[in-house]
Amino acid sequence: MSVMDGLQQKLQHQLECIYKDIDIDQSINQLVSRLIEIMRISEFSQVPEPFVNHWSEKDTIMITYGDSILQQGERPLTTLAQFIDSYVGCINSVHILPFFPYSSDDGFAVIDYSSVNESLGDWADISAIASKRRLMSDLVINHCSSRSLWFENFCKGEGPGHDYFFTAQPKDDLSEVVRPRTSTLLRPTETPTGTQHVWCTFSHDQVDFDFRNPQVLIEFVTIIRQYLDAGVSIFRFDAVAFLWKIVGSKSINLVQTHEIIRLLRTLIEHAQNDAMIITETNIPNTQNLTYFGNANEAHCIYNFSLPPLLINTLITSNCLYLKRWLMSMPPAQDGTTYFNFIASHDGIGLRPAEGLLDDDEIQTLVDTMKDFGGKISARTTETGEQKPYEINIALYDALQGTTKGKDLWGMQRFMCAHSIMLALEGIPGIYIHSLLGTRNDYEKLANTSHNRAINRHRWELDELKQQLGDAQSTHSQVLSAMTKLINIRTQQAAFHPSATQFTLHLGLQLFGFWRQSRNRKQSIFCISNVSDQVTDLPINELNLVISEHWVDLLSETKIEDITQTIQLQPYQTVWISNKG
């Protein structure tokens, strides 16, 4: 069977699964041919090998807005590129959050998917960054701006977009719909045929697409091709869990959503073998894991449970819940891996902690973050109850103390969190404000009245340079310490994202796990004191091989006696390896 025959058969099956209950204007065969044409796949295209890992221990992704750093008279994307080259050479990949024209939600209400926001730069700036580092871009696939041309055409009832949006009726049974916002689901909109009620999962400025119309799929495949041409090689599918809607259902995680992801992976991989998909599905952990499929959906899934569990561990000095979760996480099969992070442009999601932390633990976490200046965003449950959905706070502030209050261990606690995250199975993602130790931005919060603004600071480059040039500055110390950690990590084969991982049992104050390289030559025991007390680590409990030479990679201290007990200072981490 030829490349094209196999691809056509696969796409036909996937499209039949998606549209099996829907009458569409064109045949499945026509749609298959159109998608292949858009992606420019031919007989000469390379067939993607299954279960191939497109990552290594060298990979770390920095998450940033295009305008997180500003220099007067210079395009922000140019400034960002210069900052990356000058200060974070240890990072080989960058996720630039939506860099398109937008109307709200700091980029996630896209007006035009085919353009770069003029206030940031242009496609040449995007491609310049992609020429030096792997570039990750958002595909805001669930919704677009109500100010987009497509939605304007919907309101006029003619032109591209007039039939791109999902509508329902107020009388419909929408009681089971799961969504992360408290606003009303339906937006009344006047059209030539009367009032239409447009589905809005997030806000009334973010109008949801109707993928029952194949033309919407065609539009997004066209967008994907354009992004590949610009140098994007990692696609973050934003809010993809909500993609397919069925009135009377929860309208989340539906089978058609999973099939669309599989279809897009098929197309992307045939167009560019090493391109990747990361699904952004901020949902309970068991549901999140389903987005791996059988190594045929997302290459990576966000480890959304990690931030609340890790922060809970460090403010309570108790790793019980974190350890239970880690033990329950299945090793990702080849061709898939986890995307680990503990801070992002959004807040600390609490839904992924549901079922992992009990209500009292979550409330304690919420109360502690409030004490450290954080804000709490809520969602409406199926029963109409208001429930904490997200904590909005800068990570450096989140770790300034424990449930007992603020203390003097903030820096150590902050670095402990990253020492754990960087060592875990998966690819690490680090928010630019974690690299810089940025604090809560109360001025931006007050100016915007949006809780998430507290962790979306914009640095003036000259001020940032001054801070980073001062060895006594917290920002300088954080960047230096983070750079050292990342550089050590990238040299360890045992930290390959797909290397073996086992959880250690060392009590509640010591959180530990063991990593082994894929060739079994290197082992690293990653152990952190998650408390504010000096804690003993009995080395003999690790069962180190006596014939090997062991060293803590972080302190460069040799382990001369594997029967000894060493003392870990508050929030100290050791990476004990036989390949120092």
Token pair belonging to 373: 């200046």
Q: What is the DSSP string of 446-502?
A: HHH--GGGGG---EEHHHHHHHHT-TTSHHHHHHHHHHHHHHHHTT-GGGSTTSEEE
Confirm whether residue 236 is marked as ligand binding: yes
Binding residue per annotation — 345?
Answer: yes
Q: What are phi and psi of 300, to 5 degrees?
A: -135, 145
Q: Which bin fits 445, alpha (ψ -120 to 50), beta or left (φ > 0)?
A: alpha
Strands (E), 227-350: 232-238, 276-279, 300-302, 337-340, 348-349
CA angle 361, 362, 364 (to 5 degrees): 65
Catalytic machinery residues: 238
237 marked ligand binding residue: yes
C-alpha count within 13 angstroms, C-beta hemisphere, residue 244: 18
Q: Measured between alpha carbons, how far is 354 from 110 in angstroms, rounded to an integer?
A: 31
Q: Provide the token pair at 295.
A: 């190594």
3-state secondary structure at position 50:
coil
452 is in an annotated binding site: yes
143 is in an annotated binding site: yes
Cβ atoms within 10 Å, residue 487: 12
In the chain, what are the helix, strand and coil shares in percent, each to the nearest 5? 35, 20, 45
Among 427, 432, 456, 142, residue whose Cα is nearest residue 303: 427
Q: Could you tell me the two tokens for 201?
A: 């999962």
187 is in an annotated binding site: no
The binding site for substrate consists of 105, 143, 236-238, 345-346, 452
The binding site consists of 105, 143, 236-238, 345-346, 452
